[in-house]
């Protein structure tokens, strides 16, 4: 800081006031409800963040205050009251349950169907883990292997403390604070998330999964993820879990930023299964996510997602193909049942020459749900020979659901080649009867048909994730055929 101004003094005084006045108020585990600059500062303080981080959050908060909630998505819901939410909750050290016997049997039944081990079940439902030693040792071996390669994989809070240069250099470069309403909100109040850095030329030897990070089972409402793949490196990152996440927090607004430097490759796979609300459409999580990746020269980013949960989903994992010859891919399965609404898709922004993108989107709608694909393919004037292939398929079950496709194509370069294919089909009674006649009951027949429909995307998931995702599709559509 070169010159101490009146403004600086004012800020300092404000901070003092908060240090002595407000701070004592927030010693409890959960902050009071509502959002203000004080709350943002308090979050930053609580997390022992450096000044630049606090400033960054404040800047985001001020931008957010001026912004309006977007309304263009094809979803209808009652808007959250942002002043009735508590924005910080310290990680609870106490377990919710003493044993699995106390956990909702319906939840356990689902775990069983998914084939989740007892240990995992305990961890996911918040049961005290007495066998925790096991997973700690796994995590330790895991950390050691990564450390040898120079790979950093930790919580974003830890990264802000331990690797401030890396975070400072890249945070907000792909998704700026002011990018959109929810990204701004996230930038101001993000509680935690993951940070990953792969050094030059290193091929990450294993799939990185948040599961291995202890204390990460209960991720926050406003998660922030930053993945940096340095030149010539490779990483496959798994996010989420097929286990149903029951969460009292209704609003989830995460931000994920991926940075693939020259010749690097990032594969990012997500399985999202937040609570979708009950069969009458009551409750359920609102999931408003901003995910974007930046590709430098010859770099490649693949997004693969299986979305089965949430009451309302608003999510467009995108690629900015800045470097020449860079490649962006988006593979998605979005399932909606009962009263779920999903508006999801991608943006492929072609800036560099010879950039290539592929979009394969499979939407499955059942019950009274609405499922929309929204995608943008943008070719800039200097993106010579850019190519895109998009395929959007919708599968309908029953007569009360909807499938919508909103593809936007903007090309400013005459050499661009853009292909778009779209199909809509319905599971036919004749298909189901055919399966029945071969001894396959209707539920199983539907699962088989849906899996066949989704195969192109399921194949893109890492093996063990794909098996779980397949089971998840079956469970999500259970009872959808009368």
Q: What are the residues binding other proteins (CB under 8 A)?
A: 428-431, 433-442, 444, 448-449, 451-456
Residue among 52 and 434 whose Cβ is closer to other proteins: 434
Q: What share of the chain is helix, strand, coil (3-state, %, to 5)?
A: 30, 30, 40
Closer residue to other proteins (CB): 32 or 452: 452
**Structure tokens that stand for 176 in this block:** 């700026």
Q: Cα(153)–Cα(158) distance, rounded to whole angstroms?
A: 10
Nearer to other proteins, 101 or 429 (CB): 429
CB of 396 to other proteins, least distance (A): 15
Are the C-beta atoms of residues 265 and 297 closer than 8 Å to each other? no
Helix or strand (DSSP H, E) at 256: strand 255-260
- Cα separation, 179 vs 273, in Å, equals 26
Report, in Å, the least distance between residue 451 CB and other proteins. Answer: 7
Name which of 409 and 448 has its Cβ closer to other proteins.
448
Minimum Å distance from CB 458 to other proteins?
Answer: 9
Q: Indicate the residue among 202 and 445 with the shorter CB distance to other proteins.
A: 445
Distance of CA 136 to CAs 141, 196, 213, 245, 474, Å? 9, 20, 9, 22, 32
Which residues are CB-neighbours of 237 under 8 A, at least 6 positions away? 196, 207, 208, 209, 227, 266, 267, 268, 269
Decide: 405 and 454 in contact? Cβ < 8 Å.
Answer: no
Q: Tell me how far, at minimum, the Cβ of 430 lies from other proteins, in Å.
A: 5
Q: Toward other proteins, which CB reaches closer, 99 or 425?
A: 425
Q: Residue 41 Cβ, how far from other proteins at the closest point, in Å? A: 53
Q: Is 462 helix (H, G, I), strand (E, B) or coil?
A: coil
- Least distance from other proteins to the Cβ atom of residue 395, Å: 10
Other C-beta atoms lying within 10 Å of the C-beta of residue 132: 13
Residue 304 and residue 343: Cα distance in Å, rounded? 16
In sequence order, what are the beta bridge partners of 423?
A: 393
Of residues 11 and 440, the one with the C-beta less far from other proteins: 440
Separation between Cα atoms, residue 342 and residue 307, nearest integer Å: 9
The nearest distance, CB 435 to other proteins, in angstroms, is 8
β-strands 356-365, 327-336: how paired? parallel
Task: Give the shortest CB-453-to-other proteins separation in angstroms.
Answer: 6
- Distance CA(286)–CA(220), nearest Å, equals 14
Phi and psi at 213, nearest 5°, equal: -90, 110
Report the nearest approach of other proteins to the CB of residue 426 (Å).
Answer: 13
Of the candidates 224, 136, 217, 156, the one whose C-alpha atom is nearest the C-alpha of residue 184 is 224
Structure tokens at 246: 């029951």
Neighbours of 55 (CB within 10 A): 13
Nearer to other proteins, 456 or 478 (CB): 456
Give whichever of 283 and 428 is closer to other proteins, judged by the CB atom. 428
The partner residues of 203 in beta bridges, in order of sequence, read 234
Nearer to other proteins, 278 or 442 (CB): 442
Shortest distance in whole angstroms from residue 441 CB to other proteins: 5
How many CB atoms neighbour CB 81 within 10 A? 10
Helix locations, 150-192, DSSP H: 156-162, 164-170, 181-189
Instruction: Calculate ∠ Cα 352-358-359, nearest 5°.
Output: 125
* Closer residue to other proteins in complex, CB, 211/453: 453
Residue 304 C-beta: closest distance to other proteins, Å: 17
Nearer to other proteins, 53 or 449 (CB): 449
Question: What minimum distance in Å lies between the beta carbon of 460 and other proteins?
Answer: 14
DSSP state string for 369-416 = -EEEEEEEEEE-TT-TT-EEEEEEEEEE-SSS-EEEEEEEEEE--TT-
């Amino acid at each position: 800081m070169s010159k101490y101004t009146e403004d600086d003094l004012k800020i300092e005084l404000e901070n003092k006031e908060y240090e002595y006045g407000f701070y004592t108020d927030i010693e409890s585990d959960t902050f009071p409800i509502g959002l203000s600059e004080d709350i943002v500062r308090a979050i930053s303080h609580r997390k022992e963040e450096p000044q630049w981080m606090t400033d960054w959050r404040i800047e985001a908060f001020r931008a957010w205050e001026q912004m309006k909630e977007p309304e263009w998505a094809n979803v209808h819901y009652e808007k959250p009251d942002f002043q009735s939410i508590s924005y910080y909750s310290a990680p609870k050290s106490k377990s919710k349950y003493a044993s699995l016997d106390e956990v909702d049997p319906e939840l356990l039944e689902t775990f069983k169907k998914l084939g989740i081990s007892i240990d995992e079940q305990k961890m996911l439902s918040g049961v005290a883990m007495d066998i925790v030693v096991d997973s700690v040792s796994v995590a330790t071996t895991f950390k050691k292997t990564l450390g040898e390669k120079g790979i950093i994989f930790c919580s974003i809070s830890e990264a802000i403390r331990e690797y401030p240069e890396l975070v400072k250099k890249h945070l907000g470069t792909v998704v700026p604070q002011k990018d959109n309403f929810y990204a701004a909100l996230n930038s101001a109040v993000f509680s935690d998330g993951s940070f990953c850095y792969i050094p030059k030329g290193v091929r990450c030897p294993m799939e990185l999964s948040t599961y291995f990070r202890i204390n990460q089972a209960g991720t926050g409402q406003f998660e922030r993820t930053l993945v940096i793949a340095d030149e010539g490196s490779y990483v496959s990152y798994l996010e989420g879990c097929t286990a149903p996440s029951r969460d009292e927090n209704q609003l989830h607004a995460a931000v994920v930023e991926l940075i693939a430097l020259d010749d690097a490759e990032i594969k990012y796979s997500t399985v999202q299964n937040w609570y979708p609300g009950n069969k009458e459409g009551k409750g359920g999580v609102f999931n408003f996510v901003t995910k974007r990746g930046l590709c430098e020269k010859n770099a490649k980013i693949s997004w693969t997602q299986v979305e089965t949960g949430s009451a309302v989903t608003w999510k467009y994992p995108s690629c900015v193909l800045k470097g020449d010859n860079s490649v962006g891919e988006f593979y998605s399965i979005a399932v909606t049942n009962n009263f779920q609404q999903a508006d999801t898709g991608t943006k492929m922004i072609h800036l560099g020459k010879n950039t290539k993108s592929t979009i394969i989107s499979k939407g499955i709608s059942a019950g009274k749900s609405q499922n929309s694909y929204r995608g943008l393919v943008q070719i800039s004037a200097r993106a010579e020979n850019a190519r895109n292939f998009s395929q959007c398929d919708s599968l309908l079950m029953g007569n009360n659901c909807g499938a919508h496709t909103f593809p936007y194509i903007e090309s400013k370069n005459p050499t661009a080649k853009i292909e778009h294919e779209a199909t809509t089909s319905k599971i036919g009674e004749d298909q189901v009867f055919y399966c029945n006649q071969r001894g396959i009951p209707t539920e199983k027949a539907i699962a088989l048909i849906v899996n066949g429909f989704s195969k192109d995307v399921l194949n893109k998931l890492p093996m063990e994730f794909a098996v779980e995702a397949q089971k998840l599709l079956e469970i999500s559509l259970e009872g959808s055929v009368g």
